[in-house]
Amino acid sequence: MARILITSALPYINGIKHLGNLVGSQLPADLFARYARARGHEVMFICATDEHGTPAELAAAKAGQNVAEYCAEMHEVQAGLAAGFRLSFDHFGRSSSPQNHRLTQHLAGKLAEAGLIEEVSEKQVYSNADGRFLPDRYIEGTCPNCGYERARGDQCEECTKQLDPTDLINPRSAISGSTDLEVRETKHLFLRQSLMRDRLDAWIDEKTDWPVLTTSIARKWLNDGDGLQDRGITRDLDWGIPVKRGTEDWPGMEGKVFYVWFDAPIEYISATAEWAEANGLGDAAWERWWRTDKGADDVRYIEFMGKDNVPFHTLSFPATLMGSGEPWKLVDYIKSFNYLNYDGGQFSTSQGRGVFMDQALDILPSDYWRWWLLSHAPENADSEFTWENFQTSVNKDLADVLGNFVSRVTKFCRSKFGEEVPSAGEYGPVETALIADLSRRIAEYARLMDAMEVRKSAAELRAIWAVGNEYLQGAAPWAVFKEDPDRAAAIIRLMLNLIRVYAVLSAPFIPDAAAGMLAALKTENADWPDDLGAALEVLEPGHGFEVPEVLFAKITDEQREAWQAQFAGQRG
């Protein structure tokens, strides 16, 4: 049994996330966490809301709320939607937690002691109308790279180029819209990442199994232009973690807070400490996951994220942990994803474009969405959500293949043998061949899941479902029953047991349907079928079952057209 630590990129607090956000980190992380638990590993799956920075303040102001109240309310909303999508976090924390305040300030102090933090005077945009500096998203303007007119002061959403507020053309305040701006000097702290370049370079060199997407982005930031740049870790904001060196004030930094991208990854550790406290456990409970001097040396740590988060997780966060001089656990594997686009354009939280998590659950259960998103995960390239593709995948994969198989087997058994596993009949060469074929496929499925090949795993799982259907169609127990009811009984006994196996294999992708299948079979046995022959005998003759409700209803053309029209505009 291995110990596996899994973190998902933190969803930002400013509103409900869309399906592109979901499939870019949290959902595939949940897939792997569920699979790892099913294989008997000890898993710690951590996530949290990312609550600091300008978007939180702007969203709160737009909602007419105090920012702390807004963040608390939205954390509850996001936690509820995560539960709705069956995301199996061990803890869903908050980056504004007392634990994260303490640890962020502690690490900043350690970095300062190591000479890795420098105080820098820099020029920033100041709004005379608002009476304040305008960091990051508090300023909008035209992107100097692509000409997009609504670029933010930290990044252009159109071309994804990283920006500084002073880079923008025709800048304006995102608070008041004022163009009465000037550039003033202010002091900030910078993490001296450039001093860590060789160490980071050697560390990334060791990660020969990382996805190409992850390493290519990391290398680009390490080597392009002047190489790895020092990065500001403080901001002139009211909401955030106050700048301190451990527990001591930091002279000259009064009224400033740590930059959200400094404190957010630290929340992975802090959220695990939150989990320990919530469960009445001491520090040793979370330290065994995060400190190599307290037992974390045997942990495999895996991060899931969208490609826009890769630079911070391959460079800035490791630089923070390495630079502290303390024995923190560093990530072993980073699974990164490209973007999911929406029906010919881009998903956009700020513009309300696409299907959002709450809207998705309003129209269909989570398994429908989980299956489509994971089976179309944007691993090697961007992928696109279209309603036609969604309808086809649900109807053909879930309804026609898996749902139809379960329905045919259970209904036929009830009609001919009653609601219990029949006892008569023996298996023959066809069944032996079937078990051998399925054993090979299940081994391949496990290999792909171990490798976190999400789309290929989904394709192999669907193929496993299809093999059962093909066997059932060829064996034709409904025809055999007339001449040889014992033979029909053997076929159905095997297929009822195969439904249980399908439930176990499918649970990481479609947990509700899997639970429904096990409940219909009146079993809680969800052991992984390492020995398929034995697994296909778990439900013994005489074991009762019920015909389940329809696992997956087909999506009609009328529904598809209505949803397509409903989500054609922007979110209200």
Binding site residues for Zn(2+), as ranges? Answer: 143, 146, 156, 159
Query: In this structure, are residues 48 and 94 in contact, taking their beta carbons and an 8 Å threshold?
Result: yes
Q: In this structure, how many other beta carbons lie within 10 angstroms of the beta carbon of residue 416?
A: 15
Q: Residues with Cβ < 8 Å from 260, sequence gap 6 or more?
A: 50, 52, 53, 95, 235, 240
Q: List the structure tokens of 119.
A: 């105080």
- Alpha-carbon gap, residue 300 to 1, rounded angstroms: 12
- Alpha-carbon gap, residue 12 to 15, rounded angstroms: 8
Alpha helix locations (H) across 224-355? Answer: 260-278, 283-290, 310-311, 317-323
CA distances from 500 to 374, 503, 512 (A): 22, 5, 14
Q: What is the DSSP string of 177-223?
A: ----EEEEEEEEEEE-GGGGHHHHHHHHHT-TTS-HHHHHHHHHHHH
User: What's the 3-state SS for 426-475?
Assistant: CCCHHHHHHHHHHHHHHHHHHHHHHCCCHHHHHHHHHHHHHHHHHHHHHH
Q: In this structure, how many other beta carbons lie within 10 angstroms of the beta carbon of residue 7?
A: 26
Residues in the chain: 572
Binding residues for ATP: 349
DSSP state of 123: E
Which stretches of 20-94 are assigned E, i.e. beta strand?
Answer: 42-49, 91-94
Query: In this structure, are residues 26 and 11 in contact, taking their beta carbons and an 8 Å threshold?
Result: yes
Element holding 252 (H helix, E strand): none
- Alpha-carbon gap, residue 311 to 217, rounded angstroms: 7
Query: In this structure, are residues 267 and 50 in contact, taking their beta carbons and an 8 Å threshold?
Result: yes
- Alpha-carbon gap, residue 64 to 548, rounded angstroms: 48
Q: In this structure, how many other beta carbons lie within 10 angstroms of the beta carbon of residue 69?
A: 11
Binding residues: 143, 146, 156, 159, 349
Query: In this structure, are residues 274 and 283 in contact, taking their beta carbons and an 8 Å threshold?
Result: no
Query: In this structure, are residues 74 and 28 in contact, taking their beta carbons and an 8 Å threshold?
Result: no
